[in-house]
Structure 1
């Protein structure tokens, strides 16, 4: 049982990282489709982070 616990924690951390990465990718794609310029994308990302 104690040996399984660290593995579970690692899996949870990996899952959280994957979700965050997926969300970031989705945001990037959405911004890329909306506007092609990079400065606008950076501004939008900052605005979204502030929200």
Structure 2
């Protein structure tokens, strides 16, 4: 039935867009958390370092 093809394309398009957005959001927050943890570790090491002179 060719009349139903646009609905199929639209559903596939929205499905792709949703997966794409979820993937990007997850990557952003995972990388953001890793960078935040690294920055906190660096700050803690800097604060714990005592100069000897």
Query: What range is the shorter-chain TM-score in?
Result: 0.5 to 0.7
Displaced runs of 4 or more, over 2 A: none
CA RMSD of aligned residues (A): 1.5
Q: Which has the larger radius of gyration?
A: 2
Calculate the TM-score normalised by the size of structure 2. 0.62
Calculate the TM-score normalised by the size of structure 1. 0.64
Instruction: Number of aligned residue pairs: give it.
Output: 37
Structure 2 residue runs without a partner (length 5+): 1-14
Q: Which has the higher contact order (CA 8 A, sep 6+)?
A: 1
